[in-house]
Structure 1
Amino acid sequence: MPAGGGCAWSRRSSPVVPEHPLVPVLQGVGASCCPGRLNFHCHTICSDGSLQPEGLADQAVDLGLEHFAVTDHHSVAALAPLRRRLAQHRERGLGVPTLWSGVEISCLLEGCLVHVLGLGFDPDHPALGPYLQGSAVVGKALRAEAVRRAIHAAGGLALLAHPARYRLPYHLLIAAAAELGFDGAEAFYDYEQGQRWRPSPLVCDAIAAQLSRLGLLTSCGTDTHGLGLGGR
């Protein structure tokens, strides 16, 4: 990461899982990192996206991404074909981004239905099994604390997705997530959902500032459901 600019390193206190290898990457997330360098929120046909996993991998290589994760809803089915396609690109001598395991899980936080991004976890860990069956769980397992525990048990990071998209104010949800031991939240997101992704002014800056005050990690992503990684 460069020493200056919108994707510069930031200084925050240690998150819940400080030794996780993804932490240094997320500590460097800024408003200009997505969609050209980092993308930790996108979807394939394995949930509600339009891209084949292989097509998404091709676009990630073409864009020159450095790190990315596919976060299909309650599924990691795209992970194996993504890895195979990236390996093919690597064998041809192309530079490929680092692929991290990812998933988007529904849960209840402060009585509000929200989404949690799990990143950098062991996809075969049994703790995550109930959350990778293609649909949301029910009962106590739906609670945000239970989801956070499962992601951490699998060695991953738990981040609140697009905090300003819910019926409760983002600052309340972020504070509640912090109390439950979440590692951070998605700070930079296009709430206007334009054709070309750009972080929404004011709200994203406010979210990033709150995360910094709390010593939490920041993430960014296009939340792509369509055919291009440059937008939603």
Structure 2
Amino acid sequence: MDRYDLHTHTTCSDGSYSPRELIDLAVTKGLAGIAITDHDTIAAFAPEVLAYAKAHKIDLLQGVEISAYYKGQAVHILAYDFKLDVPELHEFITLQEERRRVRAEEILEKLRAHGFEITFAELQRSHGSPLGRPHIAALLIRKGVVENLDEAFARFLGDSAPCFVPMRQPEIPEALRIIHAAGGKAFIAHPHFYNDFEFVKELAAFHFDGIECYYARFSYQVNMRYKRLAERRNLLVSGGSDFHGQGKPFNDLGVAYLEKANLFPRKNSL
């Protein structure tokens, strides 16, 4: 059975495995292919990474997880099968990285107001770009402020915590326009998280191409609810683990996947 995990992250965003290490793990897990879907960056798709995947017989799909919003709520969009050389896509990614940088600086300012002296230069040295809350959490752990990621989010960084800052994000139509202009396909990421099926149905009314129906360790019954919605709306189906490595240890690579026979058609293979 040829399995594809279509939702993974690397050290180019907030994962703990480099792109090459992720490819090695895919080989170990017996996967036929993976999509790297880092947050708001396509930095993983360097020529040497593409060559490494080919040499190790891993079918590598280009992807990115884009942060957007709808009705004041964060919505993640998985983009696949886009052309890597589209200037407008690169401009959009650069803007997303800048939004993340501004947000990180605002979070650090709040942390300093709570008595924790952490500079932006320290944060950049520890990771680079794009920056997210997990990177700030990792720095808090290294400085001994908290013991683990859960504590960092509970005390400081979570949506209801005192140092939370929402990220300025594009609206869904703008994100979809960019993806489609680059020849890509746009999927609603992990609809399982919204706890509001009506909200997901509203999202599906936008010009999405598909839904991530198989996600992480959710049950067959839950996954089938979103698959039926995709079928009713004539949308494509995706599936993946949302693998991050140390950041989400229970989302092991390959715990959710699509079989090759069910993979959506591709126009822009790497």
> What TM-score do the two structures reach when normalised by structure 1?
0.70
CA distance in 1, matches of 2:255, 2:10: 14
Bigger Rg over Cα = 2
> Per-residue CA shift, 1:188-224, capped at 9, x if unaligned?
112xxxxxxx342322111111111111111100000
* CA 48–78 in structure 1, closer or farther in 2 if over 3 Å, else same: same
Question: Tell me, what secondary structure is at the counterpart of 1:212?
Answer: helix
* CA 182–136 in structure 1, closer or farther in 2 if over 3 Å, else same: farther
Matches within 5 A, 1:1-232: 37-80=3-46, 81-89=48-56, 96-133=57-94, 135=97, 137=99, 142-166=170-194, 169-173=196-200, 175-190=201-216, 198-226=217-245, 229-230=253-254
1:105–1:136 Cα contact (<8 Å) kept = no
* CA 208–188 in structure 1, closer or farther in 2 if over 3 Å, else same: same
Question: Tell me, what secondary structure is at the counterpart of 1:204?
Answer: helix
Shift of 1:84: 2.4
* CA 176–100 in structure 1, closer or farther in 2 if over 3 Å, else same: same
Shift of 1:141: 6.8
CA distance in 1, matches of 2:98, 2:33: 27
1:152 is matched by which residue type in structure 2?
H
Name stretches of at least 5 consecutive residues in structure 2 with no aligned partner: 101-166, 247-251, 257-270
Q: Counterpart of 1:20?
A: none
> What TM-score do the two structures reach when normalised by structure 2?
0.61
Shift of 1:108: 1.0
Question: Tell me, what secondary structure is at the counterpart of 1:38?
Answer: strand
Structure with the bigger percentage of helix:
2
Identity %, equivalent residues: 38
CA distance in 2, matches of 1:159, 1:108: 14
1:40 is matched by which residue type in structure 2?
L
Name stretches of at least 5 consecutive residues in structure 1 with no aligned partner: 2-35, 90-95, 191-197
Count of matched residue pairs:
183
